[in-house]
Amino acid sequence: MCELLGMSANVPTDLCFSFTGLLQRGGGTGPHRDGWGVVLYEGRGIRAFRDWAPSVSSEIAQLVSRLPMKTCIAISHIREANVGAVNLENTHPFVRELFGRNWSFAHNGQLAGTEALTLGDFIPVGSTDSERAFCWLLARIRERFTNSATLEADETAYWQQLHRWCDELSPRGVANFLFSDGRYLFAYCATKLSWITRRAPFGEARLSDSDLTVDFGEHTTANDIVTVIATNPLTVNETWQAMAAGEFIVFDRGEIAYRAQHSEEL
């Protein structure tokens, strides 16, 4: 299985601390040696870095872990391949344009029968079940909402529909997703995702996979809010919240904007 990392913040924040912990699991403290990637949003644009090499030994990953690139939304992924060759085109997160927005998507798990999904105009570049699921989701969004204004007209209905589509994919296997439309960060849990929100008074955090401790109080203001989502908690001295199976959360600037357990209950 792969591992996911996401961040939603109300002020531009770097991912260096959390990413340093994650990259150790890519061939160091974990078996996820088959590539890694990260997408960092800045306004309407993105910075995207990927490498098919293990993150623990990737010089590009080391650069990302040291370079304090500020963002309010980030998605990262380390891969343990089960479908598709180990190469750059199969490396998450995947990115596509829709309605003038950069959409990004990363998946932990494996989905059966994705060859039968109707993808519309969204054609996979690689050969993973994950990218096909992403293309299917984008095709459903385009078909249902037609333009960006329709998404914004009733955001609760938009989020509920995203949840239903995630629930449609989930029975095909293991479907833990992090994805974004550039405005919100979406998290869907089938088996395993946890999150933590850091806000004032900020304290000290210690990574579980690296000998690194940070006192966030030295790097933040009283108004900062930062939420981190991960497959497995990244720190050993903080309390992370585990998501339930079938749960869908929308994060907006570090806060929870929407949360539901099962779409059929909506």
DSSP 63-114: HHHHS--EEEEEEEEE---SSS-SSGGGPSSEEEEETTEEEEEEEES-BS-G
Q: Cα separation of 137 and 120, whole Å?
A: 10
Q: Whole-model pTM above 0.75? A: yes
pLDDT tens, residue by residue, 199-256: 999 989 999 988 889 989 888 899 999 999 999 999 999 999 999 999 999 999 999 9
Phi, psi of 78 (to 5 degrees): -120, 140
Beta carbons of 3 and 28 less than 8 angstroms apart: no
CATH number for 3-109+177-265: choose from 3.40.50.2020, 3.60.20.10, 3.30.530.20, 3.40.430.10: 3.60.20.10
pLDDT band at 266 (very low <50, low <70, confident <90, very high): very low
Neighbouring C-beta atoms of residue 101, cutoff 10 Å: 15
pLDDT tens, residue by residue, 204-216: 999 998 888 998 9
Question: pLDDT > 90: what percent of the chain?
Answer: 83
Catalytic residue positions, numbered: 2
pLDDT of residue 79: 86
| Structural domain boundaries in the chain | 3-109+177-265
